[in-house]
Chains A and B, each alone.
Chain A
Amino acid sequence: MVSELHRAALCRKDALEEERRVRANDREYNDKFQYASNCIMTSKYNIITFLPVNLFEQFQEVANTYFLFLLILQLIPQISSLSWFTTIVPLALVLSITAVKDATDDYFRHNSDNQVNNRQSQVLIRGSLQNEKWMNVRVGDIIKLENNQFVAADLLLLSSSEPHGLCYIETAELDGSENTPHLSIKSELRQSVSVTSELGDQNNLASFNGEVVCEPPNNKLDRFCGTLYWRDKKYTLTNQNMLLRGCVLRNTEACYGLVIFAGPDTKLMQNSGRTKFKRTSIDRLMNTLVLWIFGFLVCMGVILAVGNAVWEREVGSLFQSYLPWDPPVDNFLFSAFLSFWSYVIILNTVVPISLYVSVEVIRLGHSYFINWDQQMFCSQCNTAAEARTTTLNEELGQVEYIFSDKTGTLTQNIMSFNKCSINRQTYGNIHFTHLFVLGERLDFTPFNPLADPDFCFYDDTLLESVKVGDSHTHEFFRLLSLCHTVMSEEKSEGELIYKAQSPDEGALVTAARNFGFVFRSRTPGTITTTEMGRPVTYTLLAILDFNNIRKRMSVIVRNPEGRIRLYCKGADTVLLERLNPCNQELMNITSDHLNEYASDGLRTLALAYRDLSEDDWEMWSESHRCADKATNCREDRLAATYEAIEQDMMLLGATAIEDKLQEGVPETIAVLSLANIKIWVLTGDKQETAVNIGYSCKMLTDDMTEVFIISGHTVQSVRQELRSVHLPLQLSGVSNYGAVAHISGEFAIVINGHSLAHALEADMETEFVLTACACKAVICCRVTPLQKAQVVELIKKHKKAVTLAIGDGANDVSMIKSAHIGVGISGQEGIQAVLASDYSFSQFRFLQRLLLVHGRWSYLRMCRFLCYFFYKNFAFTMVHFWFGFFCGFSAQTVYDQYFITLYNIVYTSLPVLAMGIFDQDVPDQRSLEYPKLYEPGQLNLLFNKREFFICIAQGIYTSVVLFFVPCAVLSDATQSTGVPLADYQTFAVTTATALVIVVSVQIALDTGFWTVINHVFVWGSLGCYFAIMIALHSQTLFRIFPNQFHFVGSAQSTLLQPVVWLTIALATAICIVPVLAFRFLKVDLKPQLSDTVRKVTQTQCLLDGRLGARGGSRRSGYAFAHQEGFGELITSGKNMRLSSLALANFASRHSSNWIDTLRRKKHNHTHTPPNASGDLGAPQPYKL
């Protein structure tokens, strides 16, 4: 991917573009700049360049270069202890496997490039529309897009069929090279510069000759700055005027755009590149070990070279009558030097070339298993899980920290009106089970033609209560239909669309709508509703807006009868304090209900009203006007006036909204935390919302000893708050934060974004990590995307643990990229998170399967694979070392050279690959039932330096046995014909056969899951060994190449000897029996959980009662995802300008004034730190 970008850079002219000038409809002018054409090329090679470029790339790998170096060494006759083909055959094999993989990848890229490049688009050329292929579109062309068409390049929107030059786009398929269809995710609105929007038809556009000067191509998807010069005027261009390649035009008949960036310059292509290459810890360990092995290799070489020097001096020099020294090698020191290199050649198989390629093959296999897993396929959104990175699989088995986004990841971002309490009566108490719902879903249509058909409610007593005209119930829903800041859009009679600023409000207003109190429309001064089929218009006197401190909002309305009433909804904690004392009894019952809702994890609001007399209103109105006009402390004064009137209210009831969790979230979290994985929720949401979700997904429980909330605004206060947490946690101090001892009870910590900013500072971060890691649950709220990444980096830095970040939106990209493993939730919000991720699937609950099943297996398989791989190569290679002591350290090999060539790639490769791909210690269901099985991965128990040394030791032990047993037996043995067996070739065949049998028996022991494939590979490899050996030792081959196959007859002659087989059996027994005994005793004395689980196939579920119900408690379930500032906008009427387009467009078009308003407010708060700025902490406006 990096090289793609690199190439893309090369395609462009050498000089960096400083600014871009584009003149519409002027190809000659634009051609001067040689802008990139709209032809994209993500492929790397063509037929001619494939071989050289691919080989060049492959030889940039250190391992490949090393083997090339060995090959060169082997071509030096004095050194060459092995034929050149022992290296070139494996090297060629490895290179060709990689080349085939690269070629296949590139073939698909070519295909997708072709498909994309050949899409048709309509280009305005000389006043007429012509069909052109995408690749022929040039910068400066004006192209016409029709509804549902893909945007061909980055366009400046000139005009559209919609009023005001508006058009809607959808940012689906943000990656042209992906074949997977992604659901439409995010709709956005774009508007053309007002002056061009009047151009209208193509004749005007054909004569349009404006010139755009803008920034050079870059990868910032959300930013564009440029200027349009036309008819001697300047117009500023922003991202709002741009249509980016990869988006789809929606709900817009047609639009025209000017091509600004084409092909590789488009933001989409500039973004298509994985900048960070992730490596797994096993990778790093493996590299370290390979370096150690190199060191070991050099040591062996030196030992043997010294031996050679001694031998040549003491023996070789005297043996010269039979073997004279070569004239160039006339002294023992030089001979030793050459011998060193010769030994480097024959001992190089301790680091086999096939290691890396085998690891890649195994990981690829695991990735396919993830892609193929039906249990990670979501049928609702028709998306299968996808391993976008194939190199990280085993790290999935080692995750210790999960950082999760909230909205879209844990929750569906759907609010549903679930329960309510009206006048001592609670409604909606329906017990849900997984499979069916007790009770019928209510059908509102006969009762109310304006009802929203998607609304679900199951308790018909509430509907009955409305029908019989219970006044409390009516007032309750009237409040819900009036007290809000929702905008409505009525496309045709009765077809209402609510544009709510927060989904909570939407849910409440929709609930009121279905129960017969339909909010129809509003103006700055009125609200029109239909109450039980009767249209009513209220005069909106004031909106007492919501904010985080007030935690409530009120409206003051005058009904048609002229009565003035204040309706208030807000957090129970603030609202219940402001009630008329006569409500005491009702309040007690209602707050019981509220507690009940809160313990169900529902978001609650309490509702109240107050009747105002005309005088009250006049008086208050006056004071309000005063406060409103005040120049200093306007906020405080307003708050004071609000406070004054929101008193003495009458309680109406309470609502409970369910922030719908994704399916299976609490269960998944419970299972993951049983697996000792710590889950941190990092969300941009407000503290209450986050805490609420913490409860509803069972991260926080009422059983917890304490939930600490850290929300200090200054360094000191944050430090103090952190310190205060230490006491109950009994942390002994910052210095030894590694050992957190004896935490009695469960703790959780909730930290705010602005406090987090301080906690992440260098002097406090260790303290923060110490505290946070001692807690069972950590929730960070109001965090910015950057802080999300910082938190991940912090844990990576301090805990040396594997981190996984999961999220769905653009604000999670930074965290996904910085975590060891990034997981994107696909099909929800945007595609950026998926594009940045390593794994993607569509449901949070698949995470448990990904980690506990796939990750665990991958880790297990990879570890077993590595252990065995190092073992078999040490067993194979070290025999040469021992033989060195008996052959004058002359780098004579023990085996036939063909055996050396084929050992790693034919005789022993497939069984271990099969084990690495298919092995299972316990079935997938068991790994989910016993989450503790995940722990060995986190503790890195299965493959670490210790395990490595054990493998090496076993390998060396095996090599000792394999050399000395045949040595001892064969030195005196003879055939039954009296011919001695101690000749070199018999010895070579015996040792090689014993080796193949021993390592085959060992893999048979290591394989815990014998599928057909394992059987075929293990028996096949053994069969292959004998077949190939007999073929290579056959007379036919010898007659053709006498020089190459001089082992003629050895196989037959050797393998017919009973002594040889007795030797092999003996060696095998000596190698395997201790291993077998050791393993048996280990399973018996110190059984791992996996052994137990494997053994006990039928047992009760070990899951403890953590999933069980929690006791009730008194806490507020208040949470409301709402921003302040809307009331003011409504009463000012600013947002009514384009009422037909309603609020969806609101945020984007008015974001500037809206945010300005917010900022003004924030800055008036003197104690607000600058890093708690509303624009980063408030995700809602950006999600629109």
Chain B
Amino acid sequence: MVKEVKELVNRPDNTAYTQQRLPAWQPMLSAGIVIPGFVSIGLVFIGIGVALFVTSQSIQVLEIDYTGVEQSSPCFKCSDQTGKKCDCVMNFDIDSLFKGPVFFYYGLSNYFQNQRKYSVSIDYNQLTGDLDYFTNPDDACFPFQNDRNKPIVPCGAIANSMFNDTFQLFQLVNGQKKEVPLDGKGIAWWTDYNTKYRNPSVTPLRNAFNGTVKPPSWPQAAYELDTEDTSNNGFINQDFLVWMRTAALPDFRKLYRRITEGDYASGLPAGNYSLEIVYNYPVLSFDGRKKVVFSNVSWMGGKNEFLGIAYLVIGSLCVLMSIVMLIVYAKFKFPEED
């Protein structure tokens, strides 16, 4: 009896776990799975690729560089200026209907919004409308933290460098300029507009900014960003929100306006157009480029040829690979299957 008890003490438990006999699925890379798998993956990819490619082909994109590097460019006269207000007009033609809704982007090249020091130069607390941070902006905003001992609101390099060219689009109909209405509402992320950026609950808004100064590069204070729509001011100004969502890559575009209203709701009809640009934003100093982009979208967003082609290529490679594997398999079968 004693011996039995003792044995129980030392004998290891007989469980599937301790004896490493847990039931298990042991997948094998067998030809029966891999080759059909490759074929089906390949076919699915080719299918998606075709769909993407076709969709992408149907999307129209129009890009206009207005940096004014070349002398021939209408904006050449503005390009050497820094800070001074300058207007220029770019004319362009649309051959066929540019199907709506048309999105109007501005794009910058060689612009490093993703530079670490640039992208951390922001005070999220201040931008939630926390007045404590109006008087004491975060150190991260340096050197756009204080200007002559007065706190900068909104502080930081991102805010300071906000893009401030403005555009107006006209269709030239019989020599008459017909303004294309641009819709600037809802161009920012919902969470940015509703959560991440809040104005302080002070009315009027400008009172909240007492004792602060505007960012040095800004022509006007944050509460005066939109002179027409007073609700589109402060930190929840759509253009500001768009700018503050920093780009991942040095060549990027940001949504400027939508063309969804009036005669242009169904798109831009063929014709001559004139883009009037208020040229404020200097980029030539660092060899940057500015452009405007018109584009429409599909279910999968804007024009994206890479994705479709990549899917086609990968899909074809899968199918090709499966053929190679089939040949190899047929030739060098698994030894035991002989």
Q: Is the CB of B310 within 8 A of A965?
A: yes
A983-B306 contact, Cβ under 8 Å, with A372-B18, A1084-B334: no
> Residues 1043-1055 of chain A: 1 if any B CB is under 8 Å from the residue's CB, otherwise 0?
1001011001100
> Residues 125-144 of chain B: 1 if any A CB is under 8 Å from the residue's CB, otherwise 0?
10110100000001100110
> Residues 971-1007 of chain A: 1 if any B CB is under 8 Å from the residue's CB, otherwise 0?
1111111111111111110000000000000000000
Q: Is the CB of B115 within 8 A of A369?
A: no
Q: Is the CB of B160 within 8 A of A982?
A: no
A887 to B115, CA, bound (A): 5
Q: Is A384 an interface residue (CB 8 A)?
A: yes
Q: Is the CB of B195 within 8 A of A1076?
A: no
Q: Is B112 an interface residue (CB 8 A)?
A: yes
B5 to chain A, nearest CB (A): 11
Q: Whose C-beta in chain A lies nearest to the C-beta of B162? A: A322
Contact-residue size bin, chain A (C-beta under 8 Å from the other chain): 35 or more
> What chain A residues lie within 8 Å of B13 (beta carbons)?
372
Q: Is the CB of A969 within 8 A of B114?
A: no
> What chain B residues lie within 8 Å of A1073 (beta carbons)?
38, 41, 314, 317-318, 321
Q: Is B31 an interface residue (CB 8 A)?
A: yes
Q: Whose C-beta in chain A lies nearest to the C-beta of B192? A: A1049
A1038 to B194, CA, bound (A): 12
Q: Is the CB of B112 within 8 A of A315?
A: yes
The residue from B18, B304, B328 contacting A973, defined by CB atoms under 8 A apart:
B304
A994 to B295, CA, bound (A): 28
Q: Is A195 an interface residue (CB 8 A)?
A: no
Q: Is the CB of B12 within 8 A of A890?
A: no
A1059 to B118, CA, bound (A): 28
A979-B22 contact, Cβ under 8 Å, with A373-B12, A1052-B191: no
Q: Is A383 an interface residue (CB 8 A)?
A: yes
A1042-B255 contact, Cβ under 8 Å, with A372-B12, A891-B116: no
> What chain A residues lie within 8 Å of B38 (beta carbons)?
1073, 1076-1077
A1035-B10 contact, Cβ under 8 Å, with A318-B286, A986-B248: no
Q: Is the CB of A967 within 8 A of B249?
A: yes
Q: Is B212 an interface residue (CB 8 A)?
A: no
A1066 to B186, CA, bound (A): 31
Q: Is the CB of A323 within 8 A of B11?
A: no
> Residues 75-107 of chain B: 1 if any A CB is under 8 Å from the residue's CB, otherwise 0?
000000010000000000000000001010100
A1039 to chain B, nearest CB (A): 7
The residue from B22, B217, B282, B301 contacting A1011, defined by CB atoms under 8 A apart:
B22
A1066-B325 contact, Cβ under 8 Å, with A892-B116, A974-B297: no
Q: Is the CB of B196 within 8 A of A323?
A: no
A744 to chain B, nearest CB (A): 28
Q: Is the CB of A969 within 8 A of B334?
A: no
A965 to B247, CA, bound (A): 16
**Most chain A Cβ neighbours within 10 Å, of B24, B110, B113, B125:** B24
A384-B11 contact, Cβ under 8 Å, with A886-B114, A1049-B189: yes
Q: Count contacts between A and B, CB distance < 8 Å.
A: 295
Q: Is the CB of B317 within 8 A of A983?
A: no
> What chain B residues lie within 8 Å of A279 (beta carbons)?
none
Q: Is A324 an interface residue (CB 8 A)?
A: yes
> What chain A residues lie within 8 Å of B254 (beta carbons)?
980
> What chain A residues lie within 8 Å of B37 (beta carbons)?
1076
The residue from B28, B121, B299, B335 contacting A976, defined by CB atoms under 8 A apart:
B299
The residue from A375, A1011, A1048 contacting B24, defined by CB atoms under 8 A apart:
A1011
A379 to chain B, nearest CB (A): 7
> Residues 178-201 of chain B: 1 if any A CB is under 8 Å from the residue's CB, otherwise 0?
000000001111111001100000
> Residues 237-269 of chain B: 1 if any A CB is under 8 Å from the residue's CB, otherwise 0?
000000001111111111100100000000000
The residue from B29, B34, B105, B287 contacting A318, defined by CB atoms under 8 A apart:
B287
A978 to B297, CA, bound (A): 7
Q: Is the CB of B335 within 8 A of A886?
A: no
B178 to chain A, nearest CB (A): 23
> What chain B residues lie within 8 Å of A288 (beta carbons)?
none
A967 to B299, CA, bound (A): 20
> Residues 954-973 of chain A: 1 if any B CB is under 8 Å from the residue's CB, otherwise 0?
00000000000101111111
The residue from B12, B258, B295, B304 contacting A1059, defined by CB atoms under 8 A apart:
B304
> What chain A residues lie within 8 Å of B314 (beta carbons)?
1066, 1069-1070, 1073
Q: Is the CB of B12 within 8 A of A374?
A: yes
B281 to chain A, nearest CB (A): 10
B250 to chain A, nearest CB (A): 6
Q: Is the CB of B29 within 8 A of A1076?
A: yes
A1068 to chain B, nearest CB (A): 10
A874 to B213, CA, bound (A): 46
Q: Is A640 an interface residue (CB 8 A)?
A: no
The residue from A1063, A1076, A1094 contacting B26, defined by CB atoms under 8 A apart:
A1094
> What chain B residues lie within 8 Å of A1094 (beta carbons)?
26, 28
**Most chain A Cβ neighbours within 10 Å, of B45, B142, B255, B306:** B306
A323 to B121, CA, bound (A): 9
> What chain B residues lie within 8 Å of A1095 (beta carbons)?
28, 30, 334, 336
25 A-B pairs with CB atoms under 8 Å apart are A318-B285, A319-B115, A323-B118, A323-B121, A368-B18, A374-B19, A375-B19, A892-B119, A967-B249, A972-B303, A972-B304, A976-B298, A977-B186, A978-B258, A978-B302, A980-B302, A984-B113, A1008-B27, A1038-B195, A1042-B124, A1043-B138, A1059-B304, A1081-B325, A1095-B30, A1095-B334
Interface residues of A (CB under 8 A from B): 77, 81, 180-181, 315-316, 318-319, 321-324, 326-327, 342, 368-369, 371-375, 377, 379, 382-384, 857, 886-888, 890-892, 918, 920, 924, 965, 967-988, 1008-1014, 1035, 1038-1039, 1042-1043, 1046, 1048-1049, 1052-1053, 1057-1059, 1062-1063, 1066, 1069-1070, 1073, 1076-1077, 1079-1081, 1083-1085, 1087, 1092, 1094-1096, 1099
Given A318-B286, A1042-B124: 6 more A-B contacts, CB < 8 Å: A315-B112, A316-B112, A373-B12, A887-B250, A924-B20, A1084-B329
Interface residues of B (CB under 8 A from A): 6-7, 10-14, 18-20, 22-31, 34, 37-38, 41, 45, 48, 52, 82, 101, 103, 105, 110-119, 121, 123-125, 127-128, 130, 138-139, 142-143, 157, 160-161, 186-192, 195-196, 217, 245-255, 258, 282, 285-287, 295, 297-304, 306-307, 310-311, 314, 317-318, 321, 325, 328-329, 332-336
Q: Nearest 3 A-B pairs (CB), nearest first?
A: A1049-B191, A987-B248, A372-B18
